[in-house]
C-alpha cells in the first residue's frame, strides 16, 4: 500500500510554497484558462515553471488543472496549452472533459491523467470506464458517503482521491446550471457566481420564511483521517485555490499532523490539530456528505454562507473611504470581505491604511469607528465585515529558478535469468548494453515490469532521463535490490557518453500531427427521430415513454437512467435494466458516464447521451462513441455559435434539447424548502425531491431553436399547459458562454 498523499490547493506560487513547507506531498494549480477556478489569481507560465523546478528539488509532486468543459473552437488552444505545460513535466493533468482526456492520451502518450470530481464519478462502474479511458486516478464525487466509499476504494482498479476539507458545492459535481441560468457564468467553465450562497424566500413546512436554502457548511475531516488512511485512499485533498497562503499553511499543518499521528496519540493530537485549524477562517465545520445524517444537516439555511471570522460592520460609505466599527482587533495587512446581507458575495481587500479620528493607526480598537480608504469604482453597500486572512509575509517564489527539462532517452530492456540487455534508439548505432546475470526463480514475488521500469528511471543525471521504457521479462525472476541498482548505474554510465555524441531528440511538435491525424470525421448520416418526454411518466421509476414525432420507429419505451446511482443501489438499477431489455426496450438515454459500463454487456441497444451528461466537443463525442454511444445531446449551456460549430464537427448524430425545465441543481443534501421559492430579485424556482435527490428547476421554461440536420428532444416532464403562453428562457443562446 502506497503512503497516503496529502494534496493542497495552490492558487499562486506563494500558496504552493506554503503548502510544501507545511507538509503537503503535492499541490494542484492552474493557469488563467481552462481550469475550474478561472476567477482566482492562478499561475502564469513562469511561476508554473518555478513550481515544477522547486517541486522536483524537494521530491514533491504537482498537478495541473485542465478541468473545465471545452468548446469545439477551443480544442486546439487546449492542446497547445497542454504541450507547453507538458514540458514542465507535471505529475498529472486533472481533467473534466472526456474530450480533453482523449486528447491528452492521444497527443501526449505516457502523461498521467486524473479524472476531476467534475466528471461526477461516484461508483465502481464509473471508475472502470475511467480506466478504459486511460485515466490513472479518480477524484470522487463529493457526495459519496463513507459507507459507499469503503467498497469503492477496496475494489477500485484506479487510485482514489477524496476531498477532506474546504468549501462544498451543494450540487452534484459537473451537473450544475444554476450560475449559468442566472447570468451566463458557468460553474462547469470555472466561472461560478455562487447563487447557492444567496438568500431565497420560500416555505418550510407550512411557514413562509427566507434563508440560504442551498448554502452548505464547510467540509471538515480531521477526526476521519485515521479511517481514510486505513482504507488505502491514494490522496486526501484540501479545497481552496481561491484562498491565501495563511489558510493553506494552517490547513496543511493540521491535516499533516493527523495523517502522521500514531493510533495511540489520536485523541491528543486531534485537539492540537483543531486548534491550528481554528485560525483558517472557514465556514462552520461539518462532515459534508459523509453519512445519511450529514446529508440532512449539511445545508445550514439559517446561516449566511460566507467564510471568515466576523469582525465588524460597515456603518457609512463616504467619498473615498468606508467607516467600519470593528468588534475584534484587526491589523494592517489583514484581508477582509464586506458581505451584503442578501448573501451575494461582496468585495475582498487587504487593509493598507487605517485611521481613527483622522489619525493613522496600525490596528483597530474594539468598538471604535475606523476609516478605511476605498479607491475602487464600486463602493460597497453597508454590510457585515469578515476577516478572511491575516497579516503575514510569505515567500512569493519570484526568485526561484525556472525549470530546465532534462533530455529524454527512450529505453528498451530485456531481462532473462542469464542477462539484462538494454539500449536506447536515440543512441549511436543501435549499440546494446549487456549485464551477465545468474538470477534465481522467485518463489513468492517475482520482479514485475513496472518495478524494473521504475528502477531504470533513476538516472541520477541532471541532463538525461528516461523517456518511454519498453520492458520484457522472461520467467518469474528474483532480482536482488542491490544488484539491480548496480546494473542500473552501470547502464547509465555506459549510455550517457553515447547520448552526448549522437542524441536525436523527439519532435517537440509531434502532438500537432497527432491532433490533426486523429481529428474525428464529422457525421454524415441522418439525424434520427425526434422525441417527446411525457410529463405523466417521467418521474415514475426510471422507465419513461418517448413518442417519436417522425421517423420509422413508431411508439417505443426508452429507459432514462438516473444520473446518480450510489454503489449500494447498483444491483437494483442493473435489475431494472435487465427487465427492460427482456421486455424489448432497446433505447436508453445515458445521463452519466458510469452507465456506459453498465450497458456494455448488452447487444443491439441504441444509446443517446442526454443531459446532464456533458458533451461539448467532437473529441468528447469520439471518446464516448467508443463505449457504445450512438447519438449525443448538445450541451445545454452552449450559445448559438458554439453549438453550431459542435454540430458541424460531431462524429455522431446530434440531438437538440428544444424545450423543458432541466434541473439547474441536483443534490443528495436535504433542501429545507420545497415547492416554489424566489430570490431577492423575484426570480422564481421550484424545489422538488425525486427518488432521494433534491432538484431545483427554473420558473421559466428553457427553449432553443431547432437546428438543421439535428433531431429534437422536448422534455415535458416538468411543464404543463399553463406554460404554453409564458415567456421562455434561452439560457446562453444569445450571449457568450464564459
pLDDT value, residue 40: 66
Burial class (CB in 10 A: 0-12, 13-18, 19+), 570: middle
pLDDT value, residue 681: 86
Q: What is the 8-class DSSP label of residue 713? A: E
Its sign, for the CA torsion 358, 360, 363, 365, is negative
E-strand spans in 306-365? 309-318, 321-326, 335-339, 348-350, 355-356, 359-360
E-strand spans in 438-552? 440-441, 464-473, 477-478, 531-533, 543-548
Per-residue pLDDT tens for 354-363?
999 889 999 8
Rounded to two decimals, what is the model's pTM? 0.90
| CA dist., res. 311 & res. 306, Å (int) | 13
E-strand spans in 483-583? 531-533, 543-548, 556-560
pLDDT value, residue 559: 85
| CA dist., res. 80 & res. 350, Å (int) | 36
pLDDT value, residue 695: 96
Q: How many contiguous H segments (helices) and E segments (strands) does the chain have?
A: 18, 40
CB 210, CB 354: distance < 8 Å: no
pLDDT value, residue 1: 55
| CA dist., res. 509 & res. 516, Å (int) | 12
pLDDT value, residue 354: 92
Please identify every stretch of the chain with a pLDDT value under 50, giving residue numbers as ranges: 536-544, 551-553
CB 371, CB 321: distance < 8 Å: yes
Report which secondary-structure segment, H or E, holds 520.
none
Q: How many CB atoms lie within 10 A of CB 204?
A: 16
Report which secondary-structure segment, H or E, holds 252.
helix 245-259
pLDDT value, residue 538: 39
Q: What is the 8-class DSSP label of residue 676? A: E
At 257, list the grid cell.
499532523
Rounded to 5 degrees, φ, ψ at 688 are -135, 150
At 510, list the grid cell.
509531434
What domains does the chain contain, in order, with CATH numbers? 5-167+220-277 (3.20.20.380), 309-389 (2.40.30.10), 407-503 (no CATH), 531-661+699-729 (3.20.20)
Amino acid at each position: 500500500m502506497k503512503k497516503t498523499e496529502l494534496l493542497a490547493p495552490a492558487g499562486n506560487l506563494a500558496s504552493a510554497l506554503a503548502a510544501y513547507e507545511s507538509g503537503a506531498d503535492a499541490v494542484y494549480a492552474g493557469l488563467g484558462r481552462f481550469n475550474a477556478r478561472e476567477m482566482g489569481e492562478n499561475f502564469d507560465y513562469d511561476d508554473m515553471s518555478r513550481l515544477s523546478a522547486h517541486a522536483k528539488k524537494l521530491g514533491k509532486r504537482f498537478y495541473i488543472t485542465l478541468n473545465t468543459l471545452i468548446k469545439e473552437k477551443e480544442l486546439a488552444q487546449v492542446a497547445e496549452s497542454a504541450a507547453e505545460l507538458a514540458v514542465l513535466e507535471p505529475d498529472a493533468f486533472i481533467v473534466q472533459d472526456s474530450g480533453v482526456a482523449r486528447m491528452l492520451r492521444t497527443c501526449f502518450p505516457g502523461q498521467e491523467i486524473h479524472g476531476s470530481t467534475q466528471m461526477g464519478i461516484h461508483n465502481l462502474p464509473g471508475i472502470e470506464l475511467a480506466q478504459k479511458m486511460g485515466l490513472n486516478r479518480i477524484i470522487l464525487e463529493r457526495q459519496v458517503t463513507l459507507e459507499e466509499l469503503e467498497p469503492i476504494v477496496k475494489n477500485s482498479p484506479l487510485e482514489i482521491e477524496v476531498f477532506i476539507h474546504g468549501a462544498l458545492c451543494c450540487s452534484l459535481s459537473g451537473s450544475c446550471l444554476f450560475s449559468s441560468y442566472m447570468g451566463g457564468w458557468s460553474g462547469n467553465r470555472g466561472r461560478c457566481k455562487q447563487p447557492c450562497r444567496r438568500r431565497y424566500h420560500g416555505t418550510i413546512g407550512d411557514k413562509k420564511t427566507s434563508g440560504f436554502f442551498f448554502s452548505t457548511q464547510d467540509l471538515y475531516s480531521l477526526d476521519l483521517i485515521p479511517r481514510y488512511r486505513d482504507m488505502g485512499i491514494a490522496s486526501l485533498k484540501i479545497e481552496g485555490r481561491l484562498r491565501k497562503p495563511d489558510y493553506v499553511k494552517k490547513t496543511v499543518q493540521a491535516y499533516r499532523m493527523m495523517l502522521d499521528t500514531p493510533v495511540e496519540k489520536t485523541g491528543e493530537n486531534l485537539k492540537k490539530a483543531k486548534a491550528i485549524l481554528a485560525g483558517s477562517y472557514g465556514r462552520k465545520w461539518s462532515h459534508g456528505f459523509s453519512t445519511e445524517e450529514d446529508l440532512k444537516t449539511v445545508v445550514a439555511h439559517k446561516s449566511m454562507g460566507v467564510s471568515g471570522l466576523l469582525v465588524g460592520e460597515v456603518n457609512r460609505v463616504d467619498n473615498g473611504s468606508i467607516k467600519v466599527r470593528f468588534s475584534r482587533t484587526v491589523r494592517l495587512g489583514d484581508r477582509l470581505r464586506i458581505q451584503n446581507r442578501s448573501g451575494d458575495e461582496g468585495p475582498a481587500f487587504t487593509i493598507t491604511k487605517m485611521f481613527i479620528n483622522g489619525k493613522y493607526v496600525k490596528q483597530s480598537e474594539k468598538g471604535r469607528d475606523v476609516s478605511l480608504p476605498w479607491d475602487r469604482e464600486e463602493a460597497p453597500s453597508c454590510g457585515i465585515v469578515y476577516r478572511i486572512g491575516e497579516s503575514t509575509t510569505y515567500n512569493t517564489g519570484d526568485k526561484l529558478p525556472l525549470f530546465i527539462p532534462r533530455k529524454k532517452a527512450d529505453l528498451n530492456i530485456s531481462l532473462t535469468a542469464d542477462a539484462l540487455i538494454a539500449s536506447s534508439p536515440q543512441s549511436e548505432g543501435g549499440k546494446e548494453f549487456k549485464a551477465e546475470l545468474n538470477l534465481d526463480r522467485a518463489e513468492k514475488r517475482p520482479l514485475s515490469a513496472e518495478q524494473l521500469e521504475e528502477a531504470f528511471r533513476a538516472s541520477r543525471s541532471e541532463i538525461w532521463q528516461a523517456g518511454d521504457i519498453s520492458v520484457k521479462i522472461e520467467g518469474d525472476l528474483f532480482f536482488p535490490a542491490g544488484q539491480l541498482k548496480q546494473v542500473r548505474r552501470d547502464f547509465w554510465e555506459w549510455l550517457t557518453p553515447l547520448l552526448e555524441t549522437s542524441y536525436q531528440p523527439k519532435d517537440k511538435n509531434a502532438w500537432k500531427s497527432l491532433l490533426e491525424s486523429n481529428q474525428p470525421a464529422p457525421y454524415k448520416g441522418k439525424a434520427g427521430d425526434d422525441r417527446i418526454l411525457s410529463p405523466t411518466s417521467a418521474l415514475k421509476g426510471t422507465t419513461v415513454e418517448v413518442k417519436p414525432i417522425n421517423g420509422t420507429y413508431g411508439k417505443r419505451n426508452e429507459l432514462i437512467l438516473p444520473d446518480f446511482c450510489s454503489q449500494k443501489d447498483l444491483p437494483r438499477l442493473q435489475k431494472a435494466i435487465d427487465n427492460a431489455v427482456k421486455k424489448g426496450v432497446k433505447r436508453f438515454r445515458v445521463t452519466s458516464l458510469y452507465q456506459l459500463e453498465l450497458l456494455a454487456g448488452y447487444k443491439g441497444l441504441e444509446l443517446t447521451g442526454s443531459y446532464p451528461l456533458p458533451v461539448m466537443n467532437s473529441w468528447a463525442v469520439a471518446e464516448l462513441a467508443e463505449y457504445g454511444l450512438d447519438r449525443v445531446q448538445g450541451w445545454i449551456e452552449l450559445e448559438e455559435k458554439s453549438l453550431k460549430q459542435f454540430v458541424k464537427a460531431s462524429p455522431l448524430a446530434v440531438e437538440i434539447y428544444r424545450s423543458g425545465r432541466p434541473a439547474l441543481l441536483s443534490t443528495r443534501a436535504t433542501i429545507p424548502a420545497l415547492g416554489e421559492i424566489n430570490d431577492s430579485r423575484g426570480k422564481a424556482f421550484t424545489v422538488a425531491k425525486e427518488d432521494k435527490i433534491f432538484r431545483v428547476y427554473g420558473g421559466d421554461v428553457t427553449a432553443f431553436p431547432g437546428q438543421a440536420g439535428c433531431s429534437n428532444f422536448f422534455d415535458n416532464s416538468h411543464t404543463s399547459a399553463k406554460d404554453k403562453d409564458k415567456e421562455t428562457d434561452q439560457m446562453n443562446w444569445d450571449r457568450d458562454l464564459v
